[in-house]
Amino acid sequence: MTGSQANDVLVSFRGVQKTYDGENLIVKDLNLDIRKGEFLTLLGPSGSGKTTSLMMLAGFETPTAGEILLGGRSLNRLPPHKRDIGMVFQNYALFPHMTVAENLAFPLSVRGMSRTDCTERVKKALSMVQLDSFRNRYPGQLSGGQQQRVALARALVFEPQLVLMDEPLGALDKQLREHMQMEIKHLHQRLGVTVVYVTHDQGEALTMSDRVAVFHQGEIQQIADPRTLYEQPSNTFVANFIGENNRICGRLASRDGDRCTITLPRGEQIEALAVNVGQVGDPVTLSIRPERVRLNGHSEACSNRFSGRVAEFIYLGDHVRIRMEVCGKDDFYVKQPVAELDPSLSVGDLIPLGWQVEHSRALDPLQLD
C-alpha cells in the first residue's frame, strides 16, 4: 500500500477471527480496509457474521484473533465509549423518559460538554433531521420514522468520525424505509462522515452504498461498488445473492484466455467469460442475468443462440418476466420492459433466443448449503 492510500484508510480489520464457543469461527479471517468518508455496507444472509463484525468494531465484542485499527491505532484495548464511534440499531433504544432534546444531549453531557455548546449542537442535529419542532416530545409521541431520525441524530450529534448502523430501517414499512434510505444517503453525502452499514436487503445495499462487502459464512465473498457487484460477480454465491440470476450447470470444455466454452449435459455448448473456473473437465456454473437475454430477431447477433419454449408470463407493471424452457431447464427467466414485449408472443411458442459471451459468466460449481 502506498503512503497516500494508507492515509485514506480509517478502519482496518487485520486477520480478525471470532468464535463464541471456541469451536466454530463466526468470522474467519477478516481483512478489510474501510476508507475515510465512504459508505460501506456489510451485506449477507442471516448468521453470516455481519453484526459480530460490527460489534467488534464498536467494542462490544472482542476479536479472538487479529486486530482492528482506527486511524492507524489498535482498538484492541480501547473500551467502546473511547472509540469516537456513533451507533444506530434496529430497535433504536431512545430513552423513553427523556424528551427528544434530552436524548440528543445525553451523548454530549457524558462527554463532558458545556451546557451552551450542548444546546447549540442539539439544535444543529435536530435541524439536520428536520425535527426542530419536535424537541420537547417524548419518543412515545413520535412515529417509527421520526424515532429512527432521532436515533440517527443522536448517533451524529457528537460529530464522530465513524457511524455504525445495524439494520436501522428493519422495523419500518417499505415506503418509509425507502424514504429513510435516501435521507441517510444524502446526510452521509452532506456530512462526509464514514458509515458502516449492515443489512440483509440487497436493494438497500445497492441504493445506499459506495461499496458493498458480501458476507457468507464469516467470510467476505466480494467487495466492490454496487454496479461491479451486480455486473461482475466473482463467484456463484454473489451472482445468486445479488439480483436475479439464471444458473446453468455444465463442464469446462476448453479455455482460451478470458474466454471459455462450456458443455451442458445434453451436449449444447455455451461461450462464456472464464471468471472463476478450474481445469478442463471441471464442473462450472454459468450465470446469465434475465435482462441480458434477447428474444426472436433481437438474438440474431448473439454468440450464444438457442431456442426456448415460453412457459409463463409474470406481469410486474413496468416489466414482464417470462419463464422459459431453455437448454433442458424449465426455470430459465427472461426479463423484458413491457414497452419492448412482442404482443403476439404466447405461452407454448418456440422461439429463438440468445445472449452475448460477455453476459454469460463461468463461475465455480454451485454448492447447495
Binding-site size for ligand ATP (CB under 6 A) equals 11
Nearer to Mg ion among residue 199 and residue 246 (C-beta): 199
How many CB atoms lie under 10 A from the CB of residue 132?
A: 11
State in angstroms the smallest separation of the CB of 54 from Mg ion: 8
Would you count residue 41 as binding ligand ATP (CB under 6 A)?
no
Query: At closest approach, how far in Å is the CB of 322 from ligand ATP?
Result: 32
Closest distance of CB 9 from ligand ATP, Å? 23
Based on the shown chain and the rule CB under 6 A, indicate whether residue 369 belongs to the binding site for ligand ATP: no
- Residue span binding Mg ion (CB under 5 A) among the ranges 4-12, 48-56, 71-79, 97-105: 48-56
Q: What residues contact residue 315 under an 8 Å CB cut-off, 6+ apart?
A: 338
Q: Is 48 in the site for ligand ATP (CB under 6 A)?
A: yes
Residue 259: how many other CB atoms lie within 10 Å: 15
49 binds, among Mg ion, ligand ATP, none (CB under 5 to 8 A by kind): ligand ATP
Q: Are strands 25-35 and 39-43 parallel, antiparallel or unpaired?
A: unpaired
**Distance in Å, CB of 49 to ligand ATP, minimum:** 4
- Give me the torsion for CA of 104, 82, 210, 320, rounded to 10°: -60
Q: Is 233 in the site for ligand ATP (CB under 6 A)?
A: no
Binding mask 174-213 toward ligand ATP (x if CB under 6 A, else -) reads --------------------------x-------------
52 touches which of Mg ion, ligand ATP, none (CB within 5 to 8 A by kind)? ligand ATP
Q: Applying CB under 5 A, which of residues 12, 41, 51, 147 lies at the interface with Mg ion? A: 51
- Considering only residues 10 to 39 of the shown chain, the ones binding ligand ATP according to CB under 6 A are 20, 26
Quote the CA–CA distance of 235 and 251 in Å, as a whole number: 16
Contact 305, 324 (CB under 8 A): no
DSSP symbol at 83: S
Given the complex with Mg ion, which of 51 and 304 has the nearer CB atom?
Answer: 51
Segments of the chain assigned E as strands? 9-19, 25-35, 39-43, 65-70, 73-74, 85-89, 162-166, 194-199, 211-216, 219-224, 246-256, 259-263, 269-274, 283-288, 294-295, 304-315, 319-326, 329-337, 350-355, 360-363
Cα of first residue to Cα of last residue in the chain, in angstroms, is: 36
Q: Where are the alpha helices (DSSP H) in the chain?
A: 3-8, 50-58, 100-109, 115-128, 144-156, 174-191, 202-208, 226-231, 236-241
Which CB, 51 or 304, lies closer to ligand ATP? 51
CB of residue 233 to ligand ATP, shortest distance in Å: 20
Cβ-contact 11, 162 below 8 angstroms = yes
Task: Kindly tell me the burial class for residue 281, based on how many C-beta atoms sit within 10 Å of its own C-beta (0-12, 13-18, 19 or more).
Answer: exposed
- The entry of ligand ATP, Mg ion, none near residue 26 (CB within 5 to 8 angstroms by kind) is ligand ATP
Which of 50, 154, 294, 323 binds ligand ATP (CB under 6 A)? It is 50
Looking at beta carbons only, is 48 or 146 nearer to Mg ion?
Answer: 48
In the complex, the residues that contact Mg ion under the rule CB under 5 A are 51
In the complex, the residues that contact ligand ATP under the rule CB under 6 A are 20, 26, 44, 46-52, 200
